[in-house]
A and B are shown apart, each in its own frame.
Chain A
């Protein structure tokens, strides 16, 4: 493995963990969902780098696309129901 691929892989892995942490810690649910989708796309690239294109396809389609759409739909539903869209540290359900 050349130094460049190693560097790219390290960057990819680091960004993945960073985006995951940011998604979990996001104060606003919208931000969290957007970061989750970004995480899914990065994860797709990681699966490709791991020579698992089958998993990458599933991750992009179901894990990122549909789950992201589902999360946004759920958020819209929450807002229509009048629930607060910001969550406190301990949750406010």
Chain B
């Protein structure tokens, strides 16, 4: 393809992009402007049944109970993203520039607190902002810090690593099927068991999300030859 040809193509693509963007922007603006002033959404319905969801925080109730199906699929999307990253490349060892003292010290100082805070967020999710995704993100931040500081993450057997990555998705789906076997619909948690089920799912999901995000940060599947890669 000639240069002029390519330039014309790029220009056309750019024009198309602007048209699409302008259209999407206009639609978004129309949608926002046409919203009624008040009485939006399902807030009343959400709060009315809050006592039967197993949690006290309405956002967590929506995520883990009313719309558990969406959250399950979100977990699946994260897992698929990891599968995509792993299928594209092998993680290359990072250049071993010696990390600065500040980074090393901060990592040592922060990582225990981050892990503790992840646990706190997980538990707090039941009655105030928090939950599995936030806990997973904090856990992943700890993992990323350790990786960046040049330290080795603890080496675990490959099968265990992969099981932990799948744990959240599997627990979630298993809980859904279990309540189905108990006579309800898929993911229709009975009020009596909802709290335990949601806590179990969130704990498993938090671990999987944290490990999954670290694995995505590594930028590829663990190198094969070693018996215990991370």
**Chain A residues close to B by CB (< 8 Å):** 53-54, 56-58, 61-62, 65-66, 69-70, 73-74, 77, 80, 90
Question: Contact at A54–B219, with CB atoms within 8 Å?
Answer: no
Q: Is the CB of A73 within 8 A of B134?
A: no
A66 adjacent to B59 (CB under 8 Å) = no
Evaluate contact between A61 and B138: CB separation under 8 angstroms.
yes
Residues from chain A with a CB closer than 8 A to the CB of B134 are 54, 57-58, 61
Residues of B within 8 A of A58 (CB): 133-134, 137
User: Which listed residue (A56, A66, A80, A90) contacts B144, Cβ 8 A?
Assistant: A66
Q: When the two chains form their complex, are residues B140 and A66 in contact, meaning their CB atoms are under 8 A apart? A: yes
Q: Is the CB of B95 within 8 A of A80?
A: yes
- Bin the interface of chain B by size: 20 to 34
Min CB distance A8 to B, Å, is 22
List A contacts of B129 (CB < 8 A): 53-54, 56-57
A-B contact pairs, 7 of them (CB 8 A): A53-B129, A54-B131, A57-B130, A58-B137, A61-B137, A61-B141, A69-B144
Shortest Cβ gap from B99 to chain A (Å)? 14
CB <8 Å contact, A90 and B141: no
Complex interface residues of chain B between 123 and 161 (CB less than 8 A to chain A): 129-131, 133-134, 137-138, 140-141, 144, 148
CB distance from A78 to the nearest CB of B (A): 11
Task: Give the most central of A66, A70, A80, A90: most B CB within 10 Å.
Answer: A66
Which residues in window 90-111 of B have CB below 8 A to A? 92, 95
Cα A54 to Cα B95 with chains together (Å): 36
What separation, in Å, do the CA atoms of A56 and B219 have in the docked complex? 26
Assess whether B213 is interfacial by the CB under 8 Å rule.
Answer: yes
Cβ of A49 to closest chain B Cβ, rounded Å: 15
* For the complex of A and B, 10 pairs with smallest distance between CB atoms: A61-B137, A53-B129, A54-B129, A54-B59, A57-B134, A62-B137, A90-B10, A69-B144, A65-B141, A57-B129
Not counting A65-B141, A74-B219, a sample of 19 additional A-B residue pairs whose C-beta atoms are within 8 angstroms of each other reads A54-B131, A54-B134, A56-B129, A57-B134, A58-B133, A58-B137, A61-B138, A61-B141, A62-B133, A62-B137, A62-B213, A65-B137, A66-B144, A66-B213, A69-B148, A69-B217, A73-B217, A73-B219, A77-B219
Asked if B64 is at the interface (CB within 8 A of a chain A CB), the reply is no
Closest chain-A Cβ to B13's Cβ sits at a distance in Å of 9
**A74 contact set on B, CB distance < 8 A:** 219
In the complex, B167 has a CB within 8 A of chain A: no
B216 at the interface (CB under 8 A from A): yes
Residues in B with CB closer than 8 Å to A57 are 121, 129-130, 134
Closest Cβ of chain B to A75, distance in Å, is 11
Distance, CA A55 to CA B8, complexed state (A): 42
Residue picked from A61, A62, A65, A90, most chain B C-beta under 10 Å: A61
* A65 surroundings in chain B (CB, below 8 A): 137, 141
